[in-house]
Structure 1
Amino acid sequence: MLEYINGNIIEVQTELLINASNGKGWMGGVLGRFILLNGVAESIHYRDHTIERLAKKTVRDMKVKCGDVFHTHSGKLNFPKGILHAVTMLKPGQKSNLSIIETCLDNILKFCKDNNINSVAIPLLGTGTGRVKESKVLKLYNDKLSSSKVIFYVVQL
């Protein structure tokens, strides 16, 4: 099921938060600890910079590729089942594409099923830094997520 809302994604009350990630786990660096930058990862990092350290370690151990997802706790954020990081690009600043987003969605759905997740806050993956057209991602979300038993709160800024 899909519900569309506007606002700050880290304020949405769900069990799980989806973060569009790069394959390095970088989320804002030193500057992002003190200045709120644009983006989901940067909002997470600004609120709790320890998650970036954990994300970096996790991707080093996993050797992730585009389309993979990896899980971390949510630290000071209020997501009881944590944060699922969807790798939309390998290096920060790279373009993404619809095929990568589709693979991420398949992996997100599998994670939700395997972990009994009922509610998820999800941004429009790949539409920021990854430069994928919002309209194409919205259509993909409709195709992939609308029939799910999980409630996906699609958060648009």
Structure 2
Amino acid sequence: MKVVIGDITKAEADVIVNAANGLGPMGGGVALAIKKAGGKVIEDEAIRICKETDPRPGDVYVTTAGGLRAKYIFHAVTMKRPAEPSSVEIVRKCLQSLLEKARQMGIKSMVLPALATGVGGVPKKDVARVYREILGEVKDIDITVMDISGDFIKYLEG
């Protein structure tokens, strides 16, 4: 697992991970940045898929990546409705679901933000602990954790 300070919308990888809700709208945080950079097509697809599949917190669903330099966006559902609180347990399930989906699809590289640490309200140090535990030993997928401010990275490296 690599850790990088940077803008996830500029990352180049098979998959860029979005911190998503289970309804599809991409209205804030990383989701809004992805929509602005990659195009509304991502959000339109997300809303359609959510209506069809009704994803729950901890689930992952897949859309195209619009104009981003990725093959797919993996939407990790950290909350059912926009701006609801999340939890460490949901983040843990999201990370496990991300790895499972990536392996099913033959994904070789994935870039993740600090899931649920924005409007989800989960403390960054708690999320960093779960990232180290679940992603730290992954060898078959090139995983990069990207944080625009660097605040999350200090907990990952600590």
**TM-score, scaled to structure 2:** 0.89
Q: CA deviation at 1:63?
A: 1.1
SS of the equivalent of 1:20 reads: strand
Q: CA deviation at 1:52?
A: 0.6
Give the AA of the match of 1:151.
Answer: D
Corresponding residue for residue 98 of structure 2 = 108
**Counterpart-to-counterpart distance in 2, 1:108 and 1:74:** 16
Number of corresponding residues: 146
Percent of aligned pairs with the same amino acid:
32
Q: CA deviation at 1:124?
A: 0.6
Q: CA deviation at 1:57?
A: 0.5
Show structure 2 runs of 5+ residues with no match.
149-158
Q: CA deviation at 1:156?
A: 1.1
Show structure 1 runs of 5+ residues with no match.
29-37
- Structure 2 counterpart of 1:155, from 140, 146, 151: 146
The structure that is helix-richer by fraction is 2
Corresponding residue for residue 77 of structure 1 = 68
**Counterpart-to-counterpart distance in 1, 2:122 and 2:8:** 19
**TM-score, scaled to structure 1:** 0.90
Give the AA of the match of 1:114.
Answer: Q
Pair 1:56-2:69 in alignment: no
Give the AA of the match of 2:79.
Answer: M
RMSD: 0.9
Give the AA of the match of 1:55.
Answer: A
